[in-house]
Each structure stands twice: as C-alpha cells, then as structure tokens.
Amino acid sequence: MSLNLLGKMLLHQIILFCFLIPSGYTQESLPVRFEEGSIIPYNSEFLTDDSVDTCALFALGVDVDVPKRTKFRISIPDIATDQVIVAMIGINMGCDREFYVMPLSQNDTLKWKGCWSVCPLKEIKKFEDKDSCLFECQCSESCKEIQLIRNPHSIQDSTWYVCKMSLMYTPARSSCLNFSNRPSGIFKVYITDKPTVVYKDVYCDSETDGGGWTVIMRWKDGSVDFNRGWTDYKNGFGSLEGEFWIGNEIIHQLTNDGHTYTLRVDMINYGRESPFAKYSQFSVGSEYEKFVLHFSGYEGASTFSGRLTKINGCMSKKGDEDNAMSVMNQFGNPDEVPWWICCINAITSRPSNMWVDTYDVMMIRPN
C-alpha cells in the first residue's frame, strides 16, 4: 500500500472521527462577543479547545502550509449535525495576540467569493471603518489559496484567500491619499452614501505634488466625447485608464466626507513647462443643489495664464440641467452653462500646435 493511499485513508478516518465529536457549541450558546465585528482575544475559551479546532480544520478540508508563528483557529458549532451555523478564522500575526474575526453564515460559506483577511488589532484602531479593513483585502503573493469543503463528500464553489503575513492595508481607504506610497493606478475607495457604503474604482496619481490625488478628469486626444448631457456628467463616463469624467455624484460624495479637499488642474506638456491651477478649498454640492461648486484659495502658474484665468472664472458657475446639453465647441460663456462644461472647454481649448505629447487632468486630494 502506497504512503499516499495510506495518508488518504488516515485523513478520511480523522474526518469521520471529527464528525462524531460534538463541538459543545451551538448557535444558542455562542457568546455575544462573537457577533460580527467582535474583537476576540487569542486565549479566549472558544478558541483554545484544540479538539474542536482540529476537527473543524479537517472537516472543512483546509490544506494549507503556514509558518509556525501563524496559527489557524476555525470553529464550527453543531458540526456533528452538519449544520454550519458560524465559522470563524483567526490568525496569530504577532500583533497584540488579538484578532478581528467575522462569523460566516451557512449561505455566506456557500456563496461568497473573495479575499478573506484578518486584521491585527493595532491596525484596526487606525481604521475609521472596520469593514473596509475586512472586506477590501489587497491579496499579495504571500496569500495561500484554500478550498473550503463543507463535508467529506462535496466541494463547494467558494474559493478563499487567507493573507498569512503582513496585510497590504492603509487606514480607511476613503481616498487615494491612503495609497500615496503605491504606484499610480486604479484602486478601490469606499464612499459613504448613508445608510450604505459603496466602493468605487478610481485612478490614483501617486507622483504629482506628493501623490494621493484622485483623478476626476483626464483628457488627451479627444477619443472620448465630452459633449454630453446632465446624466452622463452625473454618473461619469469614459475609461479610468484613458479619457474620462468620474461623475459629479462621486465628486460630491468624495468632497463631502468630513474633510476639506484641494482641486488641482494640470495641463501636462512633456518636455516643456506644465502649468497648473490649484484651489485649496473645493467641494461640490448635491444634485438637488445642481452640483454647485464651493471653492477658494486659488494659486497657479503664469504660463497659459489666459486659460487658467478662464478656468478660474468657470468656478463661479452653477449647474443648470436645462442647459447642460450646451455644445462645447459653441461655448459662448453664458451664465447658465454648468461649471464642468465651462472648465472642460477651457482646459481642452488649446492651439493646434500643442496636440503632441500633452494631456490635461483634474485631481482632488484631502487636505
């Protein structure tokens, strides 16, 4: 008999043995402290019963090679009756020996896919929203893929990733400022849209002026049509990797999160001077307020001062849904033209000899 076959037989016996051992925990007996979002001490009674942990580990079919200093604790009440009510995973990462864990309902175990993570307690204290730490895992190569098997006879479709080592988190993830130490690119930020929290892909600029900028507009060669109506500018359009407008609704939500924001407008010209305009106080009202702008603290370069002056003048204009379809190439600077139409026209109005190796961006960053 081969060692491989012998090992499989032994594992099967262990699995059967596990199902015969009652865990001692039922849904009714679970302590309140183990509700979703609880902080669980490492030496908690619920996590120190090795027989329960071992049985749960084998019953779920978890096969993972982890460092000695990393300890998995998986506990399932009523495992003998095959009723997966709550599953918990904790990882000892050497941080205060406490963990942030999340119970999984039976349906979650079967349906949920994504990146599983456990945050050290001392990191959690930095977060404005614990859920953003738990759900927005940035998986790295150090993560180990495991499959959760609910019983020895059926493998569910769910694939989980457990981050074994240091977590690639930054506090809150509420803006690109949290990613300023990462290369420029597309990241997820959470936006509070009470009573819910929504996640949005944004392009973060980590190179310009210290980084941490959320790009709200990029224009280069006219491949995307910016001559659009109210709804398109409200929801956004284009591609984050190319030309786009992020959307007035998102700009409103980002700039009304309890922080003040700076707006920066760059007219980038490779190989030449690239002027910019900056507003140290910038926010956008709601759709009910016609996405009105609130701004102050202008500063900018002298080159292309005509365009920058025009941009500065645009900032005083309010939106008007009835006039939001104004054609930009027929722009005559009427008071009714929304500020975003005015600004984009000012930014993209360049002499024909300046089309090569140039592009324009609008970015915001928390102060």
Q: What is the pLDDT of residues 300-341, one digit of tens each?
A: 665 544 555 555 556 555 555 544 444 343 334 445 567 777
Check residue 196 and give its pLDDT. Answer: 57
Q: Kindly report the average pLDDT of the chain as a whole number.
A: 55
Looking at the fold, whether 87 and 210 belong to one and the same domain comes out as no
In a domain, 169, yes or no: no
Looking at the fold, whether 145 and 184 belong to one and the same domain comes out as no
In a domain, 98, yes or no: yes
In a domain, 102, yes or no: yes
pLDDT above 80: residue 3: no
In a domain, 171, yes or no: no
Looking at the fold, whether 190 and 157 belong to one and the same domain comes out as no
Check residue 230 and give its pLDDT. Answer: 85
Examine the fold and report which residue of 163, 188, 207 is the final residue of a domain before the chain moves on.
Answer: 163
Looking at the fold, whether 111 and 190 belong to one and the same domain comes out as no
Q: What percent of the chain has a predicted confidence (pLDDT) above 90?
A: 11
Its domain, for residue 39, covers: 3-163
Looking at the fold, whether 184 and 137 belong to one and the same domain comes out as no
Looking at the fold, whether 27 and 89 belong to one and the same domain comes out as yes
CB proximity list for 367: less than 8 A, separation 6 or greater? 259, 260, 261, 262, 280, 281
Please tell me which residue, 223 or 129, carries the higher pLDDT value: 223
pLDDT above 90: residue 95: no
CB proximity list for 32: less than 8 A, separation 6 or greater? none
In a domain, 118, yes or no: yes
What is the pLDDT confidence band of residue 180, given thresholds at 50, 70 and 90? confident
Q: What confidence tens digit (pLDDT) does each residue in 5-64 have?
A: 444 443 333 332 222 223 333 333 322 223 333 333 333 333 333 322 322 222 222 333
Please tell me which residue, 94 or 240, carries the higher pLDDT value: 240
Under 8 Å between Cβ of 108 and 87: no
Looking at the fold, whether 137 and 260 belong to one and the same domain comes out as no
Examine the fold and report which residue of 124, 140, 163 is the final residue of a domain before the chain moves on.
Answer: 163
pLDDT above 60: residue 243: yes
Check residue 214 and give its pLDDT. Answer: 95
Please tell me which residue, 158 or 303, carries the higher pLDDT value: 303
In a domain, 49, yes or no: yes
In a domain, 48, yes or no: yes
Check residue 311 and give its pLDDT. Answer: 58
pLDDT above 80: residue 157: no
Please tell me which residue, 141 or 230, carries the higher pLDDT value: 230
> Distance between terminal CA atoms of the chain?
69
What is the pLDDT confidence band of residue 295, given thresholds at 50, 70 and 90? confident
- Output the CA torsion sign for 278, 279, 280, 284: negative
What is the pLDDT confidence band of residue 65, given thresholds at 50, 70 and 90? very low
Going by C-alpha positions, the residue among 196, 155, 192 that lies closest to residue 63 is: 155
Check residue 211 and give its pLDDT. Answer: 92
Please tell me which residue, 135 or 268, carries the higher pLDDT value: 268
Examine the fold and report which residue of 109, 140, 163 is the final residue of a domain before the chain moves on.
Answer: 163
Check residue 227 and give its pLDDT. Answer: 83
Check residue 44 and give its pLDDT. Answer: 32
Structure token pair of residue 328: 């930009």
Looking at the fold, whether 333 and 185 belong to one and the same domain comes out as yes
pLDDT above 70: residue 152: no
- What's 214's domain CATH number? 3.90.215.10
Under 8 Å between Cβ of 266 and 274: yes
Q: pTM of this prediction?
A: 0.51
Looking at the fold, whether 266 and 356 belong to one and the same domain comes out as yes
Looking at the fold, whether 122 and 246 belong to one and the same domain comes out as no
Report the C-alpha gap between 261 and 29 in whole angstroms. 49
Q: What confidence tens digit (pLDDT) does each residue in 189-229 have?
A: 877 655 556 778 899 999 999 999 999 999 888 888 888 88
Check residue 193 and give its pLDDT. Answer: 58
Looking at the fold, whether 216 and 313 belong to one and the same domain comes out as yes
Under 8 Å between Cβ of 181 and 165: no
Report the C-alpha gap between 14 and 25 in whole angstroms. 20
Looking at the fold, whether 300 and 243 belong to one and the same domain comes out as yes
In a domain, 328, yes or no: yes
Going by C-alpha positions, the residue among 220, 294, 287, 284 that lies closest to residue 252 is: 284
Q: Please count the structural domains in the chain.
A: 2
